[in-house]
Chain A
Amino acid sequence: MLQINNLYAAVTGKKILNGITLTVNPGEVHAVMGPNGSGKSTLAQILAGHPAYEILDGEIIYEGQNLIALEAEKRSQAGLFLAFQYPVEIPGVSNSYFLKTGLNEIRKSRGEQPLDAMEFLKLIREKMKLVEMNESFINRPVNHGYSGGEKKRNEILQMAVLEPKLAILDETDSGLDIDALKVVANGVNKLRSKDRSMIVVTHYQRLLNYIVPDFVHVLMNGRIVKSGGKELALELEAFGYDKIKEEFVNGVNA
């Protein structure tokens, strides 16, 4: 599904990623953990196609094609989705129009018929149940005036509607209380399938109690310094990032 090879990237001249290599197969859930400033969110944004980042070296192959050459909307149309850490407010544009436009662009690119207003309404209502969102959000402007929790739910709603092949969740747990976290994680779990892969970017292990990953990677200074199974997350929770940092500095994993 996704193959990242020796990826180096920078933003405004500052190097952030220093040789990332990662393979994600269909149906797998990978957690990417790391301390602040390790490059987790940068990786997520680069995968989705944010124009601010400069790729210095390496490649990203998604379903056999060179992802770096694609504009963000083409990546979305190819089945890639990013749930934003900070969802953007779009005043004046209703949630339903926004999502319907996106979904129909994606369907068009696949040669499918666009959904009409009634079909779409039926779909969005059904998907809203998944994240326990009130139907009033259908006509409200995108994220405008929403609470932090409502914004995160809205991200997962979008994921549910757009049905990506590869979903990247960027700190979806940040700013959520435990009840909201459960709702969001529950929504995500219902979207897990043998064909759908996920990359879950998080600082804390807490989210991974609810979205249990197949693999855990620890990112430091723009490199994956340690990989393992879900138990690695527990280890991090117990000993913190410092222990791994020490190992890394001492050359154990370098």
Chain B
Amino acid sequence: MNQELDLKTSLTEKIKLQFKKFSENGVVSEPNWLKEYRNLGCTNFEKLGFPTQSDEEWKYTNISPVIKSEFNLTGLKSDSINLSKSDFSKYIISNSYTFVFVNGQFVSSLSVVPNEEGIEVASIKEIIKTNPEILEKYIGKVIELENNSFASLNSTFFTDGIFIQVNESKKLSKPIEILYLSVNENNSPRITHPRNCIIVKKNGMLDFTEHYVSLNSNKNLTNVVTELFLEENTKCNHIKIQNEVNKAFHFGNTAISQKATSEFFTFSFSLGGLISRNQIILNLDGEKSNSNMNGLYISTSNQLHDNHTLINHKTPKCNSRELYKGILYDESKSVFNGKVYVHSIAQKTDSKQTNKNLLLSENATIDTKPQLEIFADDVKCTHGGTVGGIDVNSLFYMKSRGISTKSAEALIALGFASEVTETIENLDLRKYVDTLIVDRLEKSYGNISLPIIAHSS
């Protein structure tokens, strides 16, 4: 305990010092509200420190390897990295606009930026300079820093990210891909704090993908906060792909506010990283809004994938569907903690939450905790979780057609995963995600060859 206290004291000193340095280092010209917000983040983090397993929300996720890595928490580092598109072309999703970030900083020369009427897109760094008033209305308005170490840290030190505002009744001709490349050219571990702020105004529509990859195998930590504001009658499809190197740490906080009759689909795919955690807080803030929250984690070797979700039914007549699936190999570990919270005012809530896991190694572990908290009396809510191996009858069926056990198992795993991508509307995006699933499973089964996923629709 004393040691923990000592660590915390030294961490407090460290962040104070680093924040001082950070503040002197160029944020002097920032508006006061932003300075105050950073201060709030810093104070919060000083209070909280990094989470430990004695914290109920972190019970199954041990992040001591992160703490031991001695990151420079500010993320500030001057480096000149020259990339050309061919260095990352395989991460570019076809028929999307691409916003490329290298080590957390926007690089316009590598990006393909939309120039369409009614859509404002820029880097956060740019917006802080040119139009901070618009940011002030949104930054920190849906993400809560209280009890959230990583979001507090992000709020203290973020310098860049994406800002998208879709104006009333507008939509883009194609989706936006936000590509975060980690290129750590020396061995000292580095941290980035991307901050994304997305607004879809009344009747607008948006499809976008957050895509996190590493271009080399050095250790890095991505600590991202994404805030989404969906106004009345909007539609938004969001995909997040975490495909960083197996040494990386990834902490993601996504917070969404959905107004009346809006529709939101999100798919979170955890593939890379050594320790990664995605936390999504979805607020159904307007009547008759609909939400679909899907997720997939494929965990191998000693990876740890943690997904924490909260669906907050705050208004009547909203629907939410949540389906998270996991495939675990080797000594990997996954955590699913999903809470559906139905406030007393949220009558006629219709909610279904499911978590299914395919456990394919005796040494892999899954901790699954679907939770329902209901304070309204006229609702329809179900939830459930399953953990199991390859279905014996499916395996027998395939073998009885001449297919070997190994191929059959890989195909069954493929089929298991296919359910969560089936509902991705944009077919280019679906195909991209499906290809990632196939690649990963081919590797997991010793480089066998697998087909593209066949969907029913």
Residues of A within 8 A of B (CB): 48-52, 71-73, 75-77, 81-82, 84, 87-88, 90-95, 97-99, 101-103, 105-106, 109, 139-141, 144-145, 158, 162
Contacts and interface: CB of A to CB of B under 8 A. Distances in A.
B348 interface: no
Nearest to A73: B399
A144 B400 contact: no
B454 A101 contact: no
Given A97-B454, A98-B398, 6 more contacts: A49-B396, A49-B399, A72-B396, A88-B393, A92-B417, A99-B401
Nearest to B394: A88
A95 B397 CA distance: 13
A8 B415 CA distance: 36
Given A50-B396, A90-B412, A162 B455 contact: no
B35 to A, nearest CB: 51
Interface in B389-426: 392-394, 396-405, 407, 411-412, 414-419
Tier of interface size on chain B? 20 to 34
A92 B418 contact: yes
B399 A71 contact: yes
A141 B415 contact: yes
Contacts, number: 100
B402 A103 contact: yes
B418 A91 contact: yes
B400 A82 contact: yes
Contacts of A94: 451, 454
B-side interface mostly: helix
Given A51-B392, A97-B451, A141-B454, A76 B414 contact: no
A67 to B, nearest CB: 13
B403 A101 contact: yes
A84 B398 CA distance: 11
Contacts of B404: 73, 105
19 contacts: A49-B399, A51-B396, A73-B400, A73-B403, A73-B404, A73-B405, A88-B396, A90-B412, A91-B418, A92-B411, A92-B414, A92-B417, A92-B418, A92-B419, A93-B414, A93-B415, A101-B407, A101-B411, A158-B401
A109 to B, nearest CB: 8
A92 B454 contact: yes
A141 B401 contact: no
B128 interface: no
The winner among A72, A109, A144 for most chain B CB atoms within 10 A is A72
Contacts of B393: 88
Contacts of B415: 90-93, 141
Nearest to B399: A72
A244 B419 CA distance: 49
B75 to A, nearest CB: 40
Contacts of B186: none
Contacts of A48: 396, 400
A91 B419 contact: yes
The winner among B397, B417, B453 for most chain A CB atoms within 10 A is B397
B78 interface: no
B25 interface: no
A70 to B, nearest CB: 11
